[in-house]
Chains A and B, each alone.
Chain A
Amino acid sequence: DVKVTQSSRYLVKRTGEKVFLECVQDMDHENMFWYRQDPGLGLRLIYFSYDVKMKEKGDIPEGYSVSREKKERFSLILESASTNQTSMYLCASSLLPYSPLHFGNGTRLTVT
Chain B
Amino acid sequence: GQQLNQSPQSMFIQEGEDVSMNCTSSSIFNTWLWYKQDPGEGPVLLIALYKAGELTSNGRLTAQFGITRKDSFLNISASIPSDVGIYFCADQIDMRFGAGTRLTVKP
Contacts and interface: CB of A to CB of B under 8 A. Distances in A.
- A-B interaction: yes
Interface of A: 4, 33, 35, 40-45, 48, 58-59, 90, 92, 98-101, 103-106
Main secondary structure of the interface of B (DSSP, over half): loop
Using C-beta atoms within 8 Å of the partner chain, give the interface range for chain B: 20 to 34
Contact of A42 (B33, B45, B100): B100
A85 B47 CA distance: 31
A105 B40 contact: yes
Given A42-B99, A59-B96, A101 B9 contact: no
B6 A42 contact: yes
Contact of A43 (B43, B48, B92): B43
A99 B96 CA distance: 13
Given A42-B88, A43-B88, A98 B99 contact: no
Contacts of A40: 9, 99
Nearest to A58: B95
B42 interface: yes
Interface in B17-44: 31, 33, 35, 40-44
Given A41-B99, A42-B88, A42-B99, A103 B93 contact: no
Given A35-B97, A43-B88, 8 more contacts: A40-B99, A41-B99, A42-B88, A59-B96, A100-B92, A101-B43, A101-B45, A105-B41
